Amino acid sequence: MSPFNFSDSETKLYHHGRFTLAGGTLPDAITAYRTYGDPKNPCIVFPTCFGAKLDSQEYLVGPGKALDPTKYYVVTFALFSNGESSSPSNTPSPYNGPYFPSVTYEDNIRAQFVVLSKALNVTKIYCVVGFSMGGQQAYYWPVLYPNFVERFIAICGSARTSPHNYCFLEGPKAALTASKDFYNGHYTAKPQHGLRAFGRVYSAWAYGQTWFREKLYLQGGKNSDLNNWLHDRWETGFLSVWDANDLLTLLRTWQLGDVSRLDHASTSDLSLKRSVASMTPDALIPGTEGDLESVLGKIKARGLIMPCKTDLYFPPEDSENEVAAMTKAGVDAKLVINPSIWGHQGGGAANEVDVQFLRGQILEFLQ
């Protein structure tokens, strides 16, 4: 076996041609992805979350890590509108900027399935692993493609975006769209006032109360105070790499997350499901849900659901209810609550203790 080399895992682009999304059709939709390891090994899919690029997925990917490319064939996918796959910022006119169509998780999963089946010749997914928005995608896979997925791991994610979560997301969205330099999405320069406001509104929900109480934002003297941390971590983070329209489209995808809107019999045949694409984006709000318990109860794949005890986006109570619905129906689903004080960040790459906790649980589940 040749030694693994990260340089072999450059970003690739799959051109779908005309591709229908929830809000319209793109003439040439693009899915960005990376592959790690030998295609002969069992395939693990690891899609991005909100605020993530493909290179940020490598906190769990690598020799000796949770997703080891010497043992598995790991495929990471960029969400539509993350700036790498088709997005408002990189799509030519007339679908650029605020004219980019609304996107659902279902759109992303259908596109990822095409890449796996047509470009990579994958006939079975051993496991789908996802954090946050990636965790929500992990729920969608076994519902949309029940015979294609053996296992799934949802880290700090949910099968349905709760009304509480939906309302939180309205906060940073309003801060950005109401800013004086956003111009209804027709900005010609980076709307830094709006992006700074977006980052500040978003920041408080990303961590647990104990994390703030213990002043971990000081990071051992790296930051002088809380405001310094807000400038460095949240304003700089969004200003440096993110387009405002991309963020808003991603945020909308998050808000629309709900696997109960899909029929369990759904596959790539669009006629077999309740068509999300036929609905107007404004109709896809809490209150239009299907029977979540019934849909979850028909999942065939084994599941590992790992919320964080202090997560304010996806609280563990939601995961407990979802796992209860699955186990009641005989689905092999396991709940593991991460006791971290890092809140939602406990499922990401924020600190090594949580990364190692995730690694241990994932390795046990995969084996």
Residue indicated by tokens 């796996």? 116
Instruction: Give me the amino acid identity at 29.
Output: A
Determine the length of the chain.
367
Asked if 97 and 88 count as a contact pair (C-beta separation under 8 A), the reply is yes
**Residue ranges of the domains in the chain?**
6-161+262-366, 168-247
End-to-end Cα distance, the chain:
21
Q: What is the 3-state secondary structure (H, E, C) of the chain?
A: CCCCCHHHCCCEEEEEEEEEECCEEEEEEEEEEEEECCCCCCEEEEECCCCCCHHHHHHCECCCCCECCCCCEEEEECCCCCCCCCCCCCCCCCCCHHHCCCCCHHHHHHHHHHHHHHHCCCCCEEEEEEECHHHHHHHHHHHHCCCCECEEEEECCCCECCHHHHHHHHHHHHHHHCCCCCHHHCCCCCCHHHHHHHHHHHHHHHCCHHHHHCCHHHHHHCCCCHHHHHHHHHHHHHHHHCCHHHHHHHHHHHHCCEHHHCCCCCCCCHHHCCCHHHCCHHHCCCCCCCCHHHHHHCCCCEEEEECECCCCCCCHHHHHHHHHHHHHCCCCEEECCECCCCHHHHHCCCCHHHHHHHHHHHHHHHC
| CB contact set of 248 (below 8 Å; sequence gap of 6+) | 173, 176, 177, 185
pLDDT in tens, the chain (367 residues): 455 666 568 999 999 999 999 999 999 999 999 999 999 999 999 999 998 999 999 999 999 999 999 999 999 999 999 999 999 999 999 999 999 999 999 999 999 999 999 999 999 999 999 999 999 999 999 999 999 999 999 999 999 999 999 999 999 999 999 999 999 999 999 999 999 999 999 998 899 999 999 999 999 999 999 999 999 999 998 999 999 999 999 999 999 999 998 854 444 434 334 444 444 444 444 445 678 999 999 999 999 999 999 999 999 999 999 999 999 999 999 999 999 999 999 999 999 999 999 999 999 999 8
Spell out the residues 6+ positions from residue 114 whose beta carbon is closer than 8 angstroms to its own: 14, 16, 31
CATH class of 6-161+262-366: alpha beta
Sign of CA dihedral 293, 103, 79, 242: negative
pLDDT of residue 183: 97
Q: Are strands 302-306 and 333-335 parallel, antiparallel or unpaired?
A: parallel
pLDDT at 283: 45
Beta bridge partners of 31: 14
pTM comes to: 0.92
The contacts of residue 315 (CB under 8 Å, 6+ apart) are 307
Are the C-beta atoms of residues 134 and 47 closer than 8 Å to each other? yes
The tens digit of pLDDT for each residue in 224-273 reads: 999 999 999 999 989 999 999 999 999 999 999 999 988 544 444 343 34
